[in-house]
Chains A and B, each alone.
Chain A
Amino acid sequence: DSGVTQTPKHLITATGQRVTLRCSPRSGDLSVYWYQQSLDQGLQFLIQYYNGEERAKGNILERFSAQQFPDLHSELNLSSLELGDSALYFCASSSSGQNYEQYFGPGTRLTVT
Protein backbone atom coordinates (compact mmCIF):
# COMPACT_ATOMS: atom_id res chain seq x y z
CA ASP A 1 0.00 0.00 0.00
CA SER A 2 1.58 3.25 -1.20
CA GLY A 3 -0.52 5.48 1.06
CA VAL A 4 -2.02 7.27 -1.96
CA THR A 5 -5.75 6.79 -2.33
CA GLN A 6 -7.85 7.31 -5.41
CA THR A 7 -11.59 7.26 -5.83
CA PRO A 8 -13.54 5.90 -7.53
CA LYS A 9 -11.89 2.65 -8.55
CA HIS A 10 -13.99 2.24 -11.65
CA LEU A 11 -16.11 4.69 -13.57
CA ILE A 12 -18.31 3.98 -16.57
CA THR A 13 -19.92 6.90 -18.29
CA ALA A 14 -21.16 8.05 -21.67
CA THR A 15 -19.57 10.29 -24.27
CA GLY A 16 -20.09 13.97 -23.65
CA GLN A 17 -20.29 13.59 -19.89
CA ARG A 18 -18.07 15.08 -17.19
CA VAL A 19 -16.39 13.21 -14.36
CA THR A 20 -14.21 14.06 -11.38
CA LEU A 21 -11.44 11.82 -10.14
CA ARG A 22 -10.15 12.31 -6.64
CA CYS A 23 -6.74 11.70 -5.13
CA SER A 24 -5.43 11.90 -1.58
CA PRO A 25 -1.63 11.99 -1.38
CA ARG A 26 0.53 10.29 1.21
CA SER A 27 0.58 12.06 4.51
CA GLY A 28 3.11 14.88 4.33
CA ASP A 29 3.57 14.82 0.56
CA LEU A 30 3.14 18.22 -1.05
CA SER A 31 3.36 17.21 -4.71
CA VAL A 32 0.61 15.48 -6.64
CA TYR A 33 0.92 14.20 -10.19
CA TRP A 34 -1.71 12.93 -12.60
CA TYR A 35 -1.06 10.38 -15.33
CA GLN A 36 -3.13 8.72 -18.02
CA GLN A 37 -2.30 5.18 -19.09
CA SER A 38 -3.83 3.71 -22.21
CA LEU A 39 -2.80 0.86 -24.46
CA ASP A 40 -1.99 3.02 -27.45
CA GLN A 41 -0.44 6.04 -25.68
CA GLY A 42 1.36 4.38 -22.80
CA LEU A 43 1.79 6.33 -19.57
CA GLN A 44 1.36 10.03 -20.17
CA PHE A 45 2.15 12.74 -17.65
CA LEU A 46 -0.74 15.17 -17.40
CA ILE A 47 0.00 17.70 -14.67
CA GLN A 48 1.76 18.30 -11.36
CA TYR A 49 0.75 20.40 -8.39
CA TYR A 50 2.96 21.41 -5.52
CA ASN A 51 1.39 22.75 -2.36
CA GLY A 52 -1.64 24.03 -4.22
CA GLU A 53 0.19 25.57 -7.16
CA GLU A 54 0.55 24.15 -10.65
CA ARG A 55 4.20 23.11 -11.04
CA ALA A 56 4.39 21.41 -14.44
CA LYS A 57 2.10 20.62 -17.31
CA GLY A 58 2.34 17.67 -19.67
CA ASN A 59 0.02 16.33 -22.32
CA ILE A 60 -3.17 17.50 -20.67
CA LEU A 61 -6.07 18.25 -22.98
CA GLU A 62 -7.98 21.51 -22.67
CA ARG A 63 -11.06 19.46 -21.76
CA PHE A 64 -9.21 18.28 -18.66
CA SER A 65 -8.44 20.37 -15.62
CA ALA A 66 -7.06 19.72 -12.18
CA GLN A 67 -6.60 21.44 -8.88
CA GLN A 68 -5.01 20.83 -5.52
CA PHE A 69 -6.89 21.94 -2.44
CA PRO A 70 -5.54 23.40 0.84
CA ASP A 71 -5.74 19.96 2.47
CA LEU A 72 -3.51 18.77 -0.43
CA HIS A 73 -5.99 16.40 -1.99
CA SER A 74 -6.38 16.81 -5.72
CA GLU A 75 -9.12 16.41 -8.26
CA LEU A 76 -8.88 15.78 -11.99
CA ASN A 77 -11.89 16.93 -13.96
CA LEU A 78 -12.54 15.40 -17.37
CA SER A 79 -15.27 16.97 -19.50
CA SER A 80 -16.88 16.41 -22.90
CA LEU A 81 -15.66 12.84 -22.64
CA GLU A 82 -14.75 10.93 -25.77
CA LEU A 83 -14.27 7.22 -26.34
CA GLY A 84 -10.53 7.81 -26.53
CA ASP A 85 -10.48 9.08 -22.96
CA SER A 86 -11.05 5.55 -21.72
CA ALA A 87 -7.93 4.74 -19.73
CA LEU A 88 -6.42 4.17 -16.33
CA TYR A 89 -5.81 7.43 -14.51
CA PHE A 90 -3.13 7.39 -11.86
CA CYS A 91 -2.35 9.87 -9.20
CA ALA A 92 1.06 9.93 -7.57
CA SER A 93 2.56 11.97 -4.78
CA SER A 94 6.02 12.87 -3.60
CA SER A 95 7.49 14.87 -0.80
CA SER A 96 9.06 17.32 -3.22
CA GLY A 97 8.83 18.29 -6.86
CA GLN A 98 12.54 17.63 -7.30
CA ASN A 99 14.55 14.45 -7.04
CA TYR A 100 12.17 12.33 -5.05
CA GLU A 101 10.41 9.13 -5.89
CA GLN A 102 6.73 9.16 -6.68
CA TYR A 103 4.24 6.97 -4.87
CA PHE A 104 1.41 5.85 -7.10
CA GLY A 105 -2.19 5.25 -6.18
CA PRO A 106 -4.12 2.20 -7.40
CA GLY A 107 -5.67 4.15 -10.26
CA THR A 108 -9.16 4.91 -11.52
CA ARG A 109 -10.30 2.93 -14.53
CA LEU A 110 -12.47 5.13 -16.72
CA THR A 111 -14.60 3.59 -19.42
CA VAL A 112 -16.40 5.91 -21.80
CA THR A 113 -19.18 4.24 -23.79
Chain B
Amino acid sequence: SQQGEEDPQALSIQEGENATMNCSYKTSINNLQWYRQNSGRGLVHLILIRSNEREKHSGRLRVTLDTSKKSSSLLITASRAADTASYFCATRNTGNQFYFGTGTSLTVIP
Protein backbone atom coordinates (compact mmCIF):
# COMPACT_ATOMS: atom_id res chain seq x y z
CA SER B 1 0.00 0.00 0.00
CA GLN B 2 1.17 3.51 -0.71
CA GLN B 3 -0.81 4.79 2.21
CA GLY B 4 1.00 6.86 4.78
CA GLU B 5 1.06 6.04 8.43
CA GLU B 6 0.63 8.33 11.37
CA ASP B 7 2.29 7.80 14.68
CA PRO B 8 1.11 7.55 17.37
CA GLN B 9 -2.26 5.97 16.61
CA ALA B 10 -3.72 7.68 19.65
CA LEU B 11 -2.54 10.48 21.91
CA SER B 12 -4.04 11.83 25.10
CA ILE B 13 -2.77 15.05 26.67
CA GLN B 14 -3.79 17.73 29.13
CA GLU B 15 -5.12 21.05 27.91
CA GLY B 16 -2.27 23.49 27.44
CA GLU B 17 0.30 20.85 26.53
CA ASN B 18 1.79 20.44 23.08
CA ALA B 19 0.81 17.56 20.80
CA THR B 20 3.16 16.11 18.22
CA MET B 21 2.14 13.59 15.62
CA ASN B 22 4.21 12.10 12.84
CA CYS B 23 3.47 10.90 9.36
CA SER B 24 5.51 8.65 7.12
CA TYR B 25 4.80 8.07 3.45
CA LYS B 26 6.21 5.87 0.74
CA THR B 27 6.24 7.66 -2.61
CA SER B 28 7.69 10.84 -4.08
CA ILE B 29 5.30 13.70 -3.45
CA ASN B 30 4.44 17.16 -4.74
CA ASN B 31 3.02 18.30 -1.43
CA LEU B 32 1.83 17.03 1.92
CA GLN B 33 -1.28 18.23 3.67
CA TRP B 34 -2.66 17.79 7.16
CA TYR B 35 -6.37 17.46 7.85
CA ARG B 36 -8.51 17.22 10.96
CA GLN B 37 -11.64 15.14 11.30
CA ASN B 38 -14.14 15.39 14.10
CA SER B 39 -15.95 12.12 14.73
CA GLY B 40 -17.98 11.05 11.70
CA ARG B 41 -17.70 14.39 9.97
CA GLY B 42 -15.91 15.68 6.91
CA LEU B 43 -12.22 16.47 6.98
CA VAL B 44 -11.03 20.02 7.43
CA HIS B 45 -7.84 21.21 5.82
CA LEU B 46 -5.23 22.52 8.26
CA ILE B 47 -2.03 23.20 6.37
CA LEU B 48 -0.19 22.36 3.17
CA ILE B 49 3.58 22.10 2.83
CA ARG B 50 5.22 21.79 -0.57
CA SER B 51 7.98 19.31 -1.28
CA ASN B 52 10.59 22.10 -1.48
CA GLU B 53 9.63 23.50 1.94
CA ARG B 54 11.01 22.24 5.24
CA GLU B 55 8.84 24.00 7.78
CA LYS B 56 5.60 25.93 7.85
CA HIS B 57 3.59 27.66 10.55
CA SER B 58 -0.07 28.51 10.83
CA GLY B 59 -1.32 29.86 14.14
CA ARG B 60 -0.71 27.17 16.76
CA LEU B 61 0.31 24.66 14.09
CA ARG B 62 3.83 23.89 12.99
CA VAL B 63 4.55 21.38 10.25
CA THR B 64 7.90 20.01 9.19
CA LEU B 65 8.74 17.95 6.15
CA ASP B 66 11.78 15.78 5.56
CA THR B 67 11.60 14.39 2.04
CA SER B 68 14.81 12.41 2.47
CA LYS B 69 13.16 10.44 5.28
CA LYS B 70 9.70 10.65 3.70
CA SER B 71 8.25 11.96 6.92
CA SER B 72 6.39 14.93 8.30
CA SER B 73 5.38 16.08 11.74
CA LEU B 74 2.52 18.21 12.99
CA LEU B 75 2.93 20.11 16.24
CA ILE B 76 -0.09 21.68 17.93
CA THR B 77 0.99 24.07 20.66
CA ALA B 78 -1.02 25.06 23.73
CA SER B 79 -3.68 22.47 22.98
CA ARG B 80 -7.35 23.06 23.73
CA ALA B 81 -10.23 20.67 24.32
CA ALA B 82 -11.59 21.74 20.92
CA ASP B 83 -8.48 20.24 19.30
CA THR B 84 -9.82 16.77 20.15
CA ALA B 85 -10.14 15.05 16.77
CA SER B 86 -8.39 12.69 14.40
CA TYR B 87 -5.54 14.10 12.38
CA PHE B 88 -4.52 12.80 8.97
CA CYS B 89 -1.66 13.51 6.65
CA ALA B 90 -2.35 13.36 2.94
CA THR B 91 0.05 13.15 0.05
CA ARG B 92 -0.35 13.55 -3.67
CA ASN B 93 2.03 11.53 -5.77
CA THR B 94 3.30 12.37 -9.22
CA GLY B 95 0.43 10.32 -10.65
CA ASN B 96 -2.07 12.74 -9.04
CA GLN B 97 -3.31 10.05 -6.68
CA PHE B 98 -4.08 11.09 -3.14
CA TYR B 99 -3.25 9.00 -0.12
CA PHE B 100 -4.37 9.60 3.44
CA GLY B 101 -2.57 8.17 6.39
CA THR B 102 -4.16 6.00 9.02
CA GLY B 103 -4.70 8.94 11.37
CA THR B 104 -3.80 9.95 14.90
CA SER B 105 -6.65 10.21 17.37
CA LEU B 106 -5.94 13.15 19.70
CA THR B 107 -7.79 13.62 22.97
CA VAL B 108 -7.21 16.84 24.89
CA ILE B 109 -8.36 16.59 28.49
CA PRO B 110 -9.72 19.84 29.97
Contact = CB atoms under 8 A, between A and B. Distances in A.
Interface string A76-107: 00000000000010101000011111111111
Contacts of A2: 42, 44
B48 A99 contact: yes
A73 B3 CA distance: 28
A28 interface: no
Interface size class of B (residues with CB under 8 A): 20 to 34
Contacts of B42: 2, 4, 90, 92, 104-107
Given A45-B98, A57-B97, A58-B97, A101 B33 contact: yes
B65 to A, nearest CB: 13
Contacts of B98: 33, 45, 48, 56, 58
A107 B45 contact: no
A106 to B, nearest CB: 5
The majority secondary structure among interface residues of chain A is strand
For chain B, what secondary structure do more than half of its interface residues adopt (helix, strand, loop), or is it mixed? Answer: strand
Interface residues of A, number: 28
Interface in B21-36: 30-31, 33, 35
A62 to B, nearest CB: 17
A104 B100 contact: no
A42 B97 contact: no
A44 B97 CA distance: 10
Given A90-B43, A99-B50, A104-B44, A42 B102 contact: yes
Contact of B100 (A43, A55, A97, A107): A43
